[in-house]
Structure 1
Amino acid sequence: MIPSLVRTLLAACIAGPGAASSRTSIVILVAAVVTPAHAGWPTHRADVGRTGWADVDLPGDLGRFWHDAMPAPTPAWPNPARGSYWQNLDHIEPRVVDDRAIHPVIVDRRVLLPSSTDDALTCLDLASGERLWRVVTDGPVRFAPAVADGRIVFGSDDGLLRCLSLDGDLLWSRRVGPDAPWIPGNGRLVSPFPIRTGVLVDEGVVYATAGLFPSQGVFVVACGLDDGEVLWTRTLQDRSPQGYLLATDDLLILPGGRANPFALRRADGTDGPSFGGVGGTYALIADDELLAGPGNDGTIVASDVRSGSQVVSVPGRHLVVTPRISYAASGRTLGALDRVRDRQVRRELAARRAALRQDPTSIDAIDAVAALERDLLDCVLWTREIEPATAMIGAGDELLLATPEAILRLDRATGHTTNTWSIEADASG
């Protein structure tokens, strides 16, 4: 029997065999008992920085408690071409993949599951899997909701932003873009201004976007969580955000899908920095850096969140960020980096190299540079081989890594596997 404390759910959405339109997604539940002080997993990847890590210790007896069959997602965008002759790539990494899995949100003993196939947001009881309520919209619900202060906010391809109570009652709704005649989209009729980014809620403010085509206008809105009153709105004529919104203290960052991410100021919606990079809908914030991608070759670009300048490009498709350590899964390699120490060493190394350029014959300067280069290697705490990862999140001192055939529980300090759960089809998240 599962103890009746607040639980955090760490879930994978499993797609069975068959065509995308007929496959079934199974939500496999691995429940972790935590103290009531923890808020669960109230938004996609745990927080507004989309770090993928929660400060929650997992118990030793994780297991499969129940499952729920749901229709497989109906993604908005097809796969890219198999390769690119001009880029000399035999394989192109899909970039617009934000709606290819059912992303669960967990709060107050409830599991919230969006569906782009049956146009609904479904609420399950965390302990039993019983369906508590279901709200049906007039379009696909592609993104996980955001929960704050007992309110659930989510968007739909019908163009409406909705706010519900935890019991599923409608508190308010707002159309983000114009009320225009519907158009064909994904084999059906949808609003020409669908909600195609994940809603973000922070400090009592809801941020959302609507629209696909910059020539028709793409709308960004900030409104009050309590009543939906508009605080500011912004019309974009040259950009079309897609993916999960994320935020720093003063910036709202919008992934660009096949274009690069950009930022608006949370206070009034005016322009913040734009970021170089490789496009994609996957993004997270680590300290003062935005990590976004993947590019056609699967790389993630790190940029300074204040200036927008590119810092480094690294391989990796699945990242988890804790206050000090970053974890990256790329191909068949998983590694851990002491991000704080790495940044310190790189700053000192840049200064020492500058000094060496001034006096190339200085033995002391040469030795100092060599020592710091060794220190830089030591910032990589460990690496290990894995099967190609399909999703990764973290909790407390552990990681949960999904591969095509299993979900692995790993020790963050060493990367060693402490438990494995076999699955029947690809996990995604």
Structure 2
Amino acid sequence: MPPSRRRILELTALSMTTLGGCSALGDPPPEGTPTETPDGTEPPDPTATPTDAPASELLCGTGPLPDSGWPLSERSVGRTNYAPDGDGPAEKPSAEWSVTATAPERGEVRFTRPIVADDRIYVARNVVVGTSVPKPDKQYLQAYDAATGDRLWEYAIAGTPQAVATTDEAVLVADRSTLHAVEYGGESARWTHEPDGGVDDVLPIPDGVLVASTRADSDDTVVALLSDGEVEWDVTVDAWLDSSLGWTDGRAYLATNGAELVAIDTDEGEQLWTRNLHDREDRNPATLLVTPCAVFVAVDEALYAADRDGEVAWSVNKSFRDLATDGEYIYGVDGDGYARSLSIEDGDEDWEEFRGAVNERYTDGFFDGLAIDDETLYAGTLEDGLLAISTNSGDVRWVLERDLDGVSVSVVDDTLYAAWGNRLLAFR
């Protein structure tokens, strides 16, 4: 099969997922960097056969989920992309409202994934320009009424906005250099944080915010900020961040550009362990999903399931560019055009659906930014547009074609919110 067309739309990856893929910012760490494994064993090869670790220990639910809305890019601190109370459109929907961004003088507008909280939608309005065109002086965090699509306010930042999330006190938006905690009216920032290495990922957790940044010496630093923006602790990881941060039950997890899985105790502010997943030379940005008793990492055409101690329970040779879980199954899509469902217990495939488009140069597959509710997986491809797929059978329920590139979605109650190119839409 032709190679995947990877990372087609960087802005839909969070928002925060986009921030995680920072390995393209410079050279990787020097060879010979020491790697600690929990038991000193050799890294496992991907295999469809589970190891001796009891697979049933991986079945423990999704972990903490928001009470309502879609307040983070992947909805929860575990990056689960799951809204169990959602009842999105089961049949081909129509748009309740649609907002089209005003075209800039140069470049094109792209909205980040819709963040939905307290009947408000928060997105970054990002102007994408070519390498020879200067970027605009200002970019914007914008707030919209979720029921009508009316714009309520906007907050200007100097850099390209890459992350949006909400906390009890503020809306978080990050560009490459600065994290802004913006008042809910948009008038000003409560505080800002400027790490030495720039902002690579942002994850609000209970009682604070985790920020990952890569320094010039090729180390990655994870910083814990208190609710007022003050630094509580920082941990240095001897590699670059290559995934989003995930968190549950007092532990943060990340994947590095050396295919390592790292666990950090967020109560004490210390690194617990590092697990080398494999020694392949090829490197693609990793995708990470966390539950209370397991960490799932998709990296370099393989998916690994590890327990809280970093022991790999099973792995399969399947590629994934985005993941979701309902606590029983792992759902995912890839750049080769496949949507899949796997058992959390042992990695066995439940179903697989191909929706890609193959040509002489590459395969057009799925975009980042999928969402699942109780019965349906929603995701977008360049070929089909926006799809709804049954999580039970893998059958396609409907396809919504539009002549726009890139779509990321959030599902809240009976409404599917979509950032689709230069448009923001609500479907029912």
Q: CA deviation at 1:171?
A: 4.8
Residue in structure 2 matched with residue 386 of structure 1 by the alignment? 355
- Corresponding letter in the other structure for 2:355: I
CA contact (8 A) 1:383 1:415 kept: yes
- Corresponding letter in the other structure for 2:166: V
String of CA shifts for 1:243-266, please: whole Å, max 9, x gaps. 422112121123334653422211
Calculate the TM-score normalised by the size of structure 1.
Answer: 0.64
Distance 1:275 1:107 in 2: 36
Distance 1:211 1:135 in 2: 26
CA contact (8 A) 1:251 1:263 kept: yes
Cα 1:115/1:273, change in 2 over 3 Å: farther
- Corresponding letter in the other structure for 1:423: R
- Point out where structure 2 has 5 or more consecutive residues left out of the alignment: 1-9, 13-65, 128-137, 278-282, 357-364, 409-428
Q: CA deviation at 1:309?
A: 4.1
Residue in structure 2 matched with residue 110 of structure 1 by the alignment? 120
Distance 1:130 1:303 in 2: 44
- Corresponding letter in the other structure for 1:320: A
* Residue 211 (structure 2) pairs with residue 208 (structure 1): yes
- Corresponding letter in the other structure for 1:69: A
CA contact (8 A) 1:273 1:305 kept: no
Distance 2:377 2:332 in 1: 11
Structural RMSD (CA): 3.1
CA contact (8 A) 1:257 1:280 kept: yes
String of CA shifts for 1:199-252, please: whole Å, max 9, x gaps. 11121211112334235x643221222x2232222345x323254221121211
**Percent of aligned pairs with the same amino acid:** 20
Residue in structure 2 matched with residue 348 of structure 1 by the alignment? none
Match of 2:289 among 277, 284, 287: 284
- Point out where structure 1 has 5 or more consecutive residues left out of the alignment: 1-11, 15-36, 75-99, 179-192, 344-378
Q: CA deviation at 1:40?
A: 1.0
Distance 2:243 2:208 in 1: 19
Cα 1:424/1:294, change in 2 over 3 Å: farther
Match of 2:165 among 146, 153, 171: 146
CA contact (8 A) 1:399 1:411 kept: yes
SS of corresponding position for 2:182: strand
- Corresponding letter in the other structure for 2:82: W
CA contact (8 A) 1:176 1:221 kept: no
Distance 1:310 1:70 in 2: 50
Q: CA deviation at 1:13?
A: 7.9
Match of 1:400 among 375, 378, 383: 378
- Corresponding letter in the other structure for 2:174: G
Distance 1:70 1:315 in 2: 40
String of CA shifts for 1:391-413, please: whole Å, max 9, x gaps. 43211211112121321112222
User: What is the number of residues matched between the two proteins?
Assistant: 312
* Residue 330 (structure 2) pairs with residue 326 (structure 1): yes
String of CA shifts for 1:328-365, please: whole Å, max 9, x gaps. 3343443323324x37xxxxxxxxxxxxxxxxxxxxxx
Cα 1:394/1:203, change in 2 over 3 Å: same
CA contact (8 A) 1:205 1:222 kept: yes
Residue in structure 2 matched with residue 412 of structure 1 by the alignment? 391
Distance 1:261 1:406 in 2: 34
Cα 1:204/1:70, change in 2 over 3 Å: farther
Distance 1:136 1:258 in 2: 36
Distance 1:130 1:320 in 2: 30
Distance 1:252 1:304 in 2: 13
- Report the more deviating stretch, 160-169 or 330-339: 330-339
- Of structures 1 and 2, the one scoring higher in RCO (CA 8 A, sep 6+) is 2
Residue in structure 2 matched with residue 190 of structure 1 by the alignment? none
Q: CA deviation at 1:101?
A: 7.5
Distance 1:269 1:115 in 2: 34
- Corresponding letter in the other structure for 1:234: V
Cα 1:389/1:155, change in 2 over 3 Å: closer
CA contact (8 A) 1:276 1:308 kept: no
Cα 1:422/1:42, change in 2 over 3 Å: same
Larger Rg over CA atoms: 1
Residue in structure 2 matched with residue 240 of structure 1 by the alignment? 240
Q: CA deviation at 1:421?
A: 0.6
Residue in structure 1 matched with residue 101 of structure 2 by the alignment? 69
SS of corresponding position for 2:276: coil
Distance 1:127 1:257 in 2: 41
